[in-house]
Structure 1
Amino acid sequence: MKGRLFTGALAVAVLVVLGVTVSEQVAADRSASVGGAQAAGVPGGGGGEPPGTGEPSPLPPAWNLDGLTYEQRMGLVYDLGPDLQGPGSFTAVPGTDEPPREGQEFLYRVDVEDDLGLDGDLFAEAVHRTLNDERSWAHDGLAFKRVPEDGAGKPDFVITLASPGTTAEWCAKSGLDTTVDNVSCDSASTSRVMINAYRWAKGSETYGDRRIHAYRQMLINHEVGHRLGYGHVECSKDGGLAPVMQQQTKFLDHDGIHCRPNAWAYPNG
């Protein structure tokens, strides 16, 4: 089935630190420490290799963690309710991101639902990095350029980070029900590729907290894959990598076959 089911808001209070020291001065300079969330730790640069363990350190909200790298922020798990209903209004992330190489160009915009409390700039950066990675759809000679709301050129699609309730509303416009497993979708009859903020914030049991970076990359690649015309497939070899178009939020194993999590259309580059 194509278009498809797949797959906050206070942010992180705890970050498992791996070989990274966040100075007391940084923490002291930020007054608000937020409770109710855990962090997955600091993943490796490849996104998705499970890190080791470390002592947790209290940190302020994720949108103000200026001392952390992109990889570290992508390793955080945020606290966002599975039943959250946002206002249904969106704000486009400002600015433009050029693709790193030439190719068949797709224009896209990034919208974030208002009042989510999640880092829109981080989401936009993750989308751009992920789509233009040579392991992603860019491997096929595609190039993805992010455009602002008031920029020249109409976007081919709008990647939208939205609450579970708003995600369900937009997916229903294309005949899709995301409420059963609280997933994301490509709302193919509209311009929006919907990323469920609950899944973006919390991940899935199939990936676990320590692979949250890779899970987010998979979310982006899976739903944009639908927009590019790809349907669902499953791994056929026991112990093999799950195709990025497998519904990995719901399951990795099927019919006695064990599949390993995989975020990429072309995992070997």
Structure 2
Amino acid sequence: MLARRFPAEQQLLLGGEFTAVDGHEAPPEGSGAGGTLRYRVDVENGLAELGFDPLLFATFVQRTLNDPRGWPHEGALPFERVPGGDADFVITLASTGTVNAWCAKSGLDTSRETVSCDAYGTERVMINAYRWAQGAPTYGDDMLGYRQMLVNHEVGHRLGHDHVDCEENGAPAPVMMQQTKSLTTGTDTCLPNPWPRP
């Protein structure tokens, strides 16, 4: 399921109500020297009926965020998924229309290219359900890699990282490059890369 596309409507607009995914996933054992980031996963109501699996999404997010190639380098800043209560931020899977509305609260226009965003100034990191289902031409059939990149890129913004360009032709793209849109900067084209520290 996580390695393949599935049907999704690009301009879908649901009601904008969310349900938190139940369950707790602790950070990796022995990690947390620099503290732990607690986050909740919300999925927009109506997506489950369209084939999106909330628990599968939440579990994938947790595994991606705590991967050794990810942001918590050598376990220094691990992620903990909580079902409710205090959370540092909320990763939210939502329809295109709802993503656009939340991103606009942060002055971001995600409507032109159907992308996701970190809705800074709010609690939500918004993942566009259409992109989650369909990916982007830059990644071809590598849906697993694309989904890993999507999570790492948007959470990277929440951690304070800005967009960067491809700096060397043929090198792995920086995870904070806008890889959904392009892998090319000027005359340099990078290779798809979902990890902060590949």
Residue by residue over 1:23-66, the C-alpha shift from the partner in whole angstroms, topping out at 9 and shown as x without a partner, is xxxxxxxxxxxxxxxxxxxxxxxxxxxxxxxxxxxxxxxxxxxx
Aligned to 2:15: 87
Equivalents in 2 of 1:234, 1:214: separation in Å?
A: 19
Aligned to 1:58: none
Q: Which amino acid in 2 is paired with 1:146?
A: R
- SS of structure 1 residue aligned to 2:130: helix
Q: Which amino acid in 2 is paired with 1:177?
A: D
Equivalents in 2 of 1:95, 1:125: separation in Å?
A: 10
Residue 76 of structure 1: CA displacement?
2.1
Aligned to 1:173: 105
Please point out which of 220, 240, 246 is paired with 2:171. 240
- 2:83 is equivalent to residue 148 of structure 1: yes
- SS of structure 1 residue aligned to 2:98: helix
Aligned to 2:148: 217
Equivalents in 2 of 1:242, 1:177: separation in Å?
A: 23
Q: Which amino acid in 1 is paired with 2:66?
A: N
- SS of structure 1 residue aligned to 2:184: coil
Q: Could you list the runs of 4 or more consecutive aligned residues of structure 1 that deviate by over 6 angstroms after TM superposition?
A: none
- SS of structure 1 residue aligned to 2:92: strand
Residue by residue over 1:75-116, the C-alpha shift from the partner in whole angstroms, topping out at 9 and shown as x without a partner, is 121111111001100011001000113212000000000111
Unaligned runs of 5+ residues in structure 2 are none
Unaligned runs of 5+ residues in structure 1 are 1-72
Aligned to 1:110: 41
TM-score by structure 1 length? 0.70
Give the aligned length.
191
Aligned to 2:184: 253
Residue 247 of structure 1: CA displacement?
0.1
Q: Which amino acid in 2 is paired with 1:180?
A: R
- 2:33 is equivalent to residue 98 of structure 1: no
Equivalents in 2 of 1:178, 1:77: separation in Å?
A: 21
Residue 174 of structure 1: CA displacement?
0.6
Residue 223 of structure 1: CA displacement?
0.3
Equivalents in 1 of 2:180, 2:81: separation in Å?
A: 26
Equivalents in 2 of 1:258, 1:85: separation in Å?
A: 34
Structure label with greater radius of gyration: 1
Please point out which of 84, 92, 96 is paired with 1:164. 96
Please point out which of 73, 80, 89 is paired with 1:139. 73
- SS of structure 1 residue aligned to 2:153: helix
- SS of structure 2 residue aligned to 1:110: strand
- SS of structure 2 residue aligned to 1:199: helix
> Does structure 1 retain, via aligned residues, the 8 Å contact 2:167–2:185?
no
Please point out which of 119, 126, 134 is paired with 2:60. 126
Q: How does 1:51-66 map to 2 (within 5 A)?
A: none
Q: How does 1:181-196 map to 2 (within 5 A)?
A: 181-196=113-128
- SS of structure 2 residue aligned to 1:250: coil
Q: What RMSD in Å do the two structures reach over aligned CA positions?
A: 0.9
Residue 258 of structure 1: CA displacement?
1.5
Equivalents in 2 of 1:173, 1:213: separation in Å?
A: 30
